[in-house]
Amino acid sequence: MPGPILYDYFRSSASYRVRIGLNLKGVSYEQRMVNLVEGDQRSAEYRELNPQGLVPMLVAGDTKITQSLAILDWLDATYEGSPFLPPDKDQRATVLAMATLVACDIHPLNNLRVLKYLKGPLGLSEDAKDEWYRHWVTTGFDALEKMAEDAGGGTWLVGDAPTLADICLIPQLYNARRFAVPVAQYPHLRRADETASAHPAFAAAHPDKQETHP
């Protein structure tokens, strides 16, 4: 059976999460670029597939899934090895809390369409928009750093194996650096980032490594 198709954009952090997940599971997949800067996501053709007009989207045979966390859950349920959630129920809750902090409380506020709305219809300056971006990343990372500290150490955010929390964190850290958000004050987040940069599944998912990099 041919591998799944990922509708992807190299700098999309939600797509970056899914690339990491696919790599961790050792799944080979086809990438189809949806160029967000050129507005491909809003085309009638793409909206026919995904009415939300966002990436990522995964198509595997007759199965079509949108939303990165739903895709990651499906991958975890479909493919063996490298589980995204720890078996211990307390650790699992911690990992889910960290992952959703990034995916639900940081990322949506800083998404391309939100930033465009701030600058366009709401008339914010470039500086004010960047300040908005930094404010919400810093607010989230401050809390995540404390949660990682409380989780008791390890080479990743929680323990010594990559989890959904790291899958969400690493792309958000990449984005934060692009927008010059200071991250030096987050030793636990930086430690997970260092571990990830030496991990083949994370390294291969990096935006700079994508063939769809224009």
Ligand X SMILES: N[C@@H](CCC(=O)N[C@@H](CS)C(=O)NCC(=O)O)C(=O)O
Give the residues lining the site for ligand X (CB under 6 A). 12-14, 36, 41, 54-56, 67-69, 103, 111-113
User: What Cα–Cα distance (Å) separates residue 27 from each residue in 54, 70, 166, 206?
Assistant: 22, 17, 19, 16
| Residue 38 vs 142, nearer CB to ligand X | 38
CB nearer to ligand X: give 140 or 159: 140
- Give the sheet arrangement for strand 63-66, strand by strand: 30-33, 5-8, 57-60, 63-66
C-alpha 47/C-alpha 54 separation (Å) is 9
Residue 161 CB, shortest distance to ligand X, in Å, is: 22
Q: How far is the CB of 190 from ligand X (least distance, A)?
A: 22
**Nearest by Cα to 23 from 204, 211, 197:** 204
Q: How far is the CB of 164 from ligand X (least distance, A)?
A: 12
Residue 56 or residue 86: which is nearer to ligand X going by CB? 56
Q: Which is nearer to ligand X, 112 or 203 (CB)?
A: 112
CB of 187 to ligand X, least distance (A): 27
Tell me how far, at minimum, the Cβ of 71 lies from ligand X, in Å: 7
Q: Which helix (H) or strand (E) holds 30?
A: strand 30-33
The beta strand positions in 47-153, using DSSP E, are 57-60, 63-66
Quote the CA–CA distance of 20 and 174 in Å, as a whole number. Answer: 13
**22 versus 103: smaller Cβ distance to ligand X:** 103
Q: Which residue is nearest to ligand X (CB)?
A: 113
Which C-beta is closer to ligand X: that of 68 or that of 210? 68
Residue 100 CB, nearest approach to ligand X (Å): 10
Find all residues with CB under 8 Å of 135, minimum gap 6, and list them.
none
Q: Helix, strand or coil for residue 71?
A: helix
What's the burial of 43, exposed, middle or buried (CB within 10 Å: 0-12/13-18/19+)?
middle
